């Protein structure tokens, strides 16, 4: 299989992130550094990342976390800041977030070591919806909401169409619901700033059909077998026989 997929199945990172790790020269196969994500890994090959041997985990984990503010959506941080993995206890697998939330943002985050599923849940080609409640400064008018929904020109290109609606007016601002199928870095904050209504508070309330019902901030639960199978079907994968 491709080296990038091997790393994803080993729980090192999503496939896209794994490609960056490989390109940076941190991965070796049988002792030789490899920088091409498409390099083929054969049975019996020894793969290391930063000198540590990795291999695909037989057991898959799927944790749904209600992320509080103040935690990074990464597996580790060189500056020693708290990450979302500090919230999930001793799980015997290398988990990583499927997608990200900013340090000060809250809400749903899926942690898993299933690289193929994580890749498809986060890639816009598969159209998985992520829903957010967003408090902004000022009250956007109908024309502004329509402009945000059609797509906006940002420094990294035009955003895909989104669902944007005004939930209610607030003192000095408004509460919006925004649903995206893509997830660029700080996309909602940049969209709202470009529209003239900076974000005050952002919370992810939905990921596909999943919600935070029954969870408090900082708590997590394992997905049910039926939920995992449903996610697989949603992104065009055959559900695994064993979960």
Residues forming the active site: 102
Strands 62-67 and 106-112: antiparallel
Q: What does the buried/exposed string (b/e) look like for 97-110 if buried means 16 or more CB atoms within 10 Å of the residue's CB?
A: bbbbbbeebbbbbb
Strands 199-207 and 106-112: parallel
DSSP H/E element including 182: none
Asked if 56 contacts 9 with a C-beta cutoff of 8 angstroms, the reply is: yes
Residue whose C-alpha is closest to residue 134's, from 186, 195, 180, 176: 176
Strands 130-137 and 220-222: unpaired
Residue whose C-alpha is closest to residue 135's, from 171, 103, 187, 161: 171
**DSSP state, 20?**
H
C-alpha distance across the termini of the chain, in Å? 22
């Amino acid at each position: 299989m491709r080296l990038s997929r091997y790393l994803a199945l080993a729980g090192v990172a999503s496939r896209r992130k794994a490609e960056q790790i490989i390109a940076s020269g941190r991965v070796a196969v049988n002792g030789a550094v490899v920088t091409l994500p498409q390099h083929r890994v054969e049975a019996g090959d020894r793969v290391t990342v930063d000198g540590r041997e990795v291999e695909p985990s037989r057991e898959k984990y799927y944790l749904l976390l209600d992320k509080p503010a103040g935690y990074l959506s990464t597996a580790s941080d060189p500056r020693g800041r708290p990450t979302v993995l500090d919230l999930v206890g001793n799980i015997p697998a290398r988990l990583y977030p499927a997608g990200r939330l900013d340090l000060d943002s809250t809400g749903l985050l899926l942690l898993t070591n299933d690289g193929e599923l994580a890749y498809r849940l986060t890639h816009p080609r598969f159209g998985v919806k992520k829903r957010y409640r967003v408090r902004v400064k000022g009250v956007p008018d109908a024309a502004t909401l329509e402009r945000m929904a059609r797509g906006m020109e940002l420094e990294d290109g035009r955003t895909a169409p989104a669902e944007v609606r005004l939930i209610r007016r607030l003192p000095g601002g408004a509460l919006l619901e925004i649903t995206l199928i893509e997830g660029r870095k700080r996309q909602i904050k940049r969209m709202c700033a470009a529209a003239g209504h900076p974000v005050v508070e952002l919370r992810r309330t939905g990921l596909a059909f999943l919600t935070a019902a029954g969870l408090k901030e900082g708590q997590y639960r394992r997905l049910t077998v039926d939920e995992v199978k449903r996610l697989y079907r949603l992104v065009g994968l055959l559900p695994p026989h064993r979960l």
